Amino acid sequence: MVEKVIIFLLMDGARSDIIDKLLADGRLPNLAKILRNGTYSSITSTFPSTTGPAHIPFFLGKYPGDCNIPGIRWMERSEKTRTQSYTSVYSYLKGNGFNKDLENSSRTIYEEFISASVFEPINKGAAHKIFPYGHFCSHIFNTWMNFDRLGLGYTAYLLRKKKFQLIVTLFASIDELSHRNGCMHSKVLRAYELFDKELGKIQQLLNKLYEDSLIIITSDHGLTDTHAHINLLKILKLTGFRIRSYPINIRNGHDLFLAESGNSMAHIYFEKNKTDKNKENITRRLSGIKGIDLILTKDRDIHIYKGAQEAIIKQSEDKYMYEAIKGDPLGLKSCSGEWCSSNQWHGITSLSNYPDSIVQIAQIFRSNRSGDIIVTAENGYDLRTFEVPEHRASHGSLSREHISVPVIINKKFEITLRRTVDVHALMERYLEAV
Ligand SMILES: [Zn+2]
Ligand SMILES: [Zn+2]
């Protein structure tokens, strides 16, 4: 019988400022109860700030780029699988793609402890897995609140078994309802309240059945309302390149492949004619488009463009340098030319518009599946025109609003939490301690 358990509750797309507002209005009484003896901080997620890739740090203690998962869609460059890219008509997230890809990476936390996973797409090694079968129905019939109720029902069922040291549950309704309705819609706020209500039941069970428990409530990314869709596909076509894009992936001699993630970031790949001149042409064209934010490319160094501004990032072992070339795209000019560690850069960037940008941009380019060009949209815009139902909110970029996430824990810890990867270390420490 297990007497000590971690309950990891992932509120997909939950925003700190909305939690703050609802707490202040007294609408999240169970969360408020946890906070009386617990901690509440804002930490940084990862790039892309998208469901799936942004879950990797929690369960592997690594960035998505280091697990070769740079988004939810990409193009395989290897000769053998070159035509495959991302081909499912639904989503890589809902199949077993992540877990298969993670087979080559180090162990997940599920493999270290006796674990169960409820609706979470990353569940490699969990002793008990409940797949999100209701996800598709919820997508079609918009029954997301029922999906979350079901998830909490399963969580309670697993808790009663007293078999698992770690139970991970994903709640999808905040993210999904925000995409459909906008982030502050009453239906979205009701999803936060529903979560709180169900949390109360979990707390009661924990108090009754376990000697000790660690409750972690966090999120994978924020969301911002979208008022305009940039037709990136059309813009690239107008540059004269032949292009294919999800969901029409058939390979028939195109020049470019476009793969978006979270709607606010996209990888662009050259299938052929990858020359510096072509890369430059596309970069120049995109940097003049209203709503396009950052354009990232990599040769020996990483290049960052924002409108007419330009900077580079260099990496040497575990240190990074930012050098402003023209203007200051990331707003870090005061530290231009300095070599700093990843944690120092976290501190330096924490008040900028792009928290942890240096480390996050560097990590995504460590994946050989990353695009030749990576694009992000400004808040308020996204990069897709075709989406059913239409998206009214987006995420995926490096902006503060997308990459900052809340983490609420029912205990006080001495460990410093900067990023979602640190939550992995916290869980290990708690379960390893006698
Ligand atoms: Zn998400
Ligand atoms: Zn989403």
Q: What is the mean pLDDT of residues 100-123?
A: 89
Nearest-CA neighbor of 335 among 364, 318, 404, 352? 352
- 277 Cα–ligand 2 center, Å: 35
Amino acid at 134: G
Nearest-CA neighbor of 399 among 340, 369, 357, 337? 357
Q: Locate tokens 């309705």: which residue?
A: 181
In a domain, 344, yes or no: yes
The more confidently predicted of residues 250 and 307 is 307
Closest ligand to Cα 263: 2
- 33 Cα–ligand 2 center, Å: 28
Task: Kindly state whether residues 199 and 123 are assigned to the same domain.
Answer: yes
In a domain, 420, yes or no: yes
The more confidently predicted of residues 121 and 375 is 375
**Residue 104: pLDDT above 80?**
no
The more confidently predicted of residues 88 and 407 is 407
> By the 8 A CB rule, do 427 and 109 touch?
yes
Q: What is the mean pLDDT of residues 40-56?
A: 96
The more confidently predicted of residues 144 and 190 is 190
Percentage of the chain with pLDDT > 90? 76
Structure pTM? 0.94
- 432 Cα–ligand 2 center, Å: 33
Q: What is the mean pLDDT of residues 254-277?
A: 90
- 295 Cα–ligand 1 center, Å: 23
Task: Kindly state whether residues 95 and 207 are assigned to the same domain.
Answer: yes
Average pLDDT over all residues of the chain? 91
Q: What is the number of domains present in the chain?
A: 2
Q: What is the mean pLDDT of residues 109-117?
A: 97
**Residue 408: pLDDT above 70?**
yes
**Residue 95: pLDDT above 70?**
no
In a domain, 82, yes or no: no
- 222 Cα–ligand 2 center, Å: 9
pLDDT score for 115:
98
Sheet holding 166-171, edge to edge: 39-44, 404-409, 212-218, 4-11, 166-171, 115-118, 128-130
- 184 Cα–ligand 2 center, Å: 15
- 262 Cα–ligand 1 center, Å: 8
Task: Kindly state whether residues 384 and 411 are assigned to the same domain.
Answer: no
Task: Kindly state whether residues 315 and 413 are assigned to the same domain.
Answer: no
Task: Kindly state whether residues 299 and 195 are assigned to the same domain.
Answer: no
In a domain, 83, yes or no: no
pLDDT range class, residue 88, cuts 50, 70, 90: very low
Give the angle subtended at the CA of 55 by the CAs of 199 and 355, to the nearest 5°: 100
pLDDT score for 106:
78
pLDDT in tens, 220-255: 999 999 999 999 999 999 989 998 887 776 666 788
**Residue 87: pLDDT above 60?**
no
In a domain, 78, yes or no: no
pLDDT score for 57:
98
Task: Kindly state whether residues 213 and 232 are assigned to the same domain.
Answer: no
Cα–Cα distance, 247 to 170 (Å, whole number): 26
Q: What is the mean pLDDT of residues 21-38?
A: 97
Beta bridge partners of 320: 315, 340
Q: Locate tokens 């476009």: which residue?
A: 258
> By the 8 A CB rule, do 282 and 272 touch?
no
- 46 Cα–ligand 2 center, Å: 14
Task: Kindly state whether residues 110 and 252 are assigned to the same domain.
Answer: no
pLDDT range class, residue 90, cuts 50, 70, 90: very low
Surrounding ion ligand 1 within 5 Å at CB are 12, 51, 175, 220
Cα–Cα distance, 136 to 366 (Å, whole number): 33
**Residue 140: pLDDT above 90?**
no
**Residue 85: pLDDT above 50?**
no
- 324 Cα–ligand 2 center, Å: 32
Q: What is the mean pLDDT of residues 4-24?
A: 98
Task: Kindly state whether residues 386 and 424 are assigned to the same domain.
Answer: no
- 51 Cα–ligand 2 center, Å: 6
Surrounding ion ligand 2 within 5 Å at CB are 175
Task: Kindly state whether residues 274 and 317 are assigned to the same domain.
Answer: yes
Task: Kindly state whether residues 138 and 217 are assigned to the same domain.
Answer: yes
* Lookup: tokens for 161: 């078994």
- 143 Cα–ligand 2 center, Å: 16
> By the 8 A CB rule, do 155 and 130 touch?
no
Pairing of strands 212-218, 339-341: unpaired
The more confidently predicted of residues 344 and 81 is 344
Q: What is the mean pLDDT of residues 96-117?
A: 86
Task: Kindly state whether residues 162 and 241 are assigned to the same domain.
Answer: no
pLDDT score for 374:
98
In a domain, 351, yes or no: yes
Parent domain of 287: 228-394
Task: Kindly state whether residues 361 and 417 are assigned to the same domain.
Answer: no
Q: What is the CATH number of the domain that holds 54?
A: 3.40.720.10
In a domain, 76, yes or no: no
Amino acid at 200: G
pLDDT score for 252:
63
What is the SS3 string spanning the chain? CCCEEEEEEEECCCCHHHHHHHHHCCCCHHHHHHHHHCEEEEEECCCCCCCCHHHHHHHHCCCHHHHCCCCCCCCCCCCCCCCCCCCCCCCCCCCCHHHHHHHHCCCCHHHHCCEEEECCCCCCCCCEEECCCHHHHHHHHCCHHHHHHHHHHHHHHHHHHCCCCEEEEEECHHHHHHHHHCCCCHHHHHHHHHHHHHHHHHHHHHHHHCCEEEEEEECCCCCEECCEECCHHHHHHHCCCCEEECCECCCCCCCEEEEEECECEEEEEECCCCCHHHHHHHHHHHHCCCCEEEEEEECCCEEEEECCEEEEEEEECCEEEEEEEECCCCCCHHHCCCEEEHHHHHHHHCCCCCCCHHHHHHHHCCCCCCCCEEEEECCCEECCCCCCCCCCEEECCCCHHHHEEEEEECCCCCCCCCEHHHHHHHHHHHHHCC
**Residue 92: pLDDT above 60?**
no
- 27 Cα–ligand 1 center, Å: 23
In a domain, 191, yes or no: yes
